[in-house]
Amino acid sequence: MPGKRLRIIRVIGLRIAVIPMLLCILIILGNALGYLNPAATNQSSAIPGLSAAKPAPFWHSVYTSLVAIGTLHWGAGPQITRELVLRSLEISSILTFGSLFVSALVGIPCGIFAALKPRNPLWQAVSAFCVLLGQVPPADMAVILIFTFSLGWHLIPLSYGWGSVADAILPIMTVACFNIGYIVKYTEAGMREVMQRSFIAAARARGAGTATVVAHHALRPALTGLLTFLGPQTPMTLFCTVIAEQAFAIPGIGTMLGIKVTTYGTPAFGSGTTLSITLFIFGLFIMVLNLLIDIAYLWLNPLAD
């Protein structure tokens, strides 16, 4: 147990030490992309007073980006303030973590039953349906959910904006449908692999039932593969959150930074400064999520380095 705690503390320390350096790199990267695109640089910035009539030198662009981020920190900006950033992060965090919770709550049991009953057509059909949900683009899924649950069956009231619990149901379902298929297949594959190991056979020989074997012996090692997938999947989950915010007019990170989603499902940024602030906030969000995933992985697999 002490060795496990030391490994967790070491992981947290390394991540915290790396986060500031990576965020500085993201700032420079965002300004480099904006500087290499004069058309974006000529557009009005999200922060008043930072736009220029012609492309500014690269290092001046980096300086203005740092000033913009400092303005966000101290809350002196007339349009983007600290309160607005914190409120937007709170809303986007609720959508992101809520969607991951819903997709795991539905996907993990479906994956377990699909692995334990490979010849059962019902669970195989459920698994295939979950995979099919994950192939639908988030913008199209938002429209499908609106027409199905709000306009068709009248189960969920159609609302735009953010103010009640009902406003979060359809956006969370939109983002959750994107990940649920992957969670089902990774859980199913991990459970099938673990159920063939020798310690599972030993547990069955001692008289343990299927529920006991799954809950106490097979579930934790079966979920390690799922966690290794959720780490790289974090940026796509955030992007789906931005799309859901645009579809339901929710004032989250994407709305605050003026990120528009084109008809092809790609993000469009207003200026280089806006892009750098976006990379800064998204980078911080992704690093925190990956830190939590690494801690959960060490909890599930204490022997991992």
CB 77 within 8 A of CB 62: no
Rounded CA separation 72/114 (Å): 48
Interhelix angle 272-300/2-35, nearest 10 degrees: 160
Q: What is the pLDDT along the chain (305 residues), one digit of tens a residue?
A: 555 565 666 666 666 656 666 656 655 555 555 545 544 444 434 433 334 444 444 444 444 554 454 444 434 344 556 677 778 888 888 998 899 999 999 999 999 999 988 888 898 899 889 989 888 888 889 889 988 988 888 888 777 778 778 888 999 999 999 999 999 999 999 999 988 888 888 888 888 888 888 888 888 888 888 887 887 787 788 888 888 888 888 888 777 666 655 555 555 555 545 556 666 677 777 777 777 777 777 777 665 55
Rounded CA separation 102/87 (Å): 22
Rounded CA separation 48/80 (Å): 9
CB 35 within 8 A of CB 61: yes
Q: Which residues have a Cβ under 8 Å from the Cβ of 14 and sit 6 or more positions away?
A: none
* pLDDT tens column, 43-60: 434 433 334 444 444 444
Give the dihedral sign, CA 115/121/123/129: positive
Nearest to 61 by CA among 101, 27, 13: 27
- Quick one: DSSP state of residue 215? I
Neighbouring CB atoms inside 10 A of 66's CB total: 15
* Residue whose token pair is 């639908």: 136
Q: Measured at the alpha carbon of residue 191, what is the angle toward residues 186 and 195, in degrees to the nearest 5?
A: 155
- Quick one: DSSP state of residue 56? P
**Which ranges in 75-213 belong to alpha helices (H)?**
82-116, 121-134, 138-145, 166-194, 198-205, 210-213
SS3 (DSSP) at 45: coil
Interhelix angle 166-194/224-247, nearest 10 degrees: 160
* pLDDT tens column, 58-95: 444 444 554 454 444 434 344 556 677 778 888 888 99
Q: Can you list the domains of the chain with their CATH numbers?
A: 1-80+272-305 (no CATH), 96-268 (1.10.3720.10)
153, burial (CB in 10 Å: exposed 0-12, middle 13-18, buried 19+): exposed
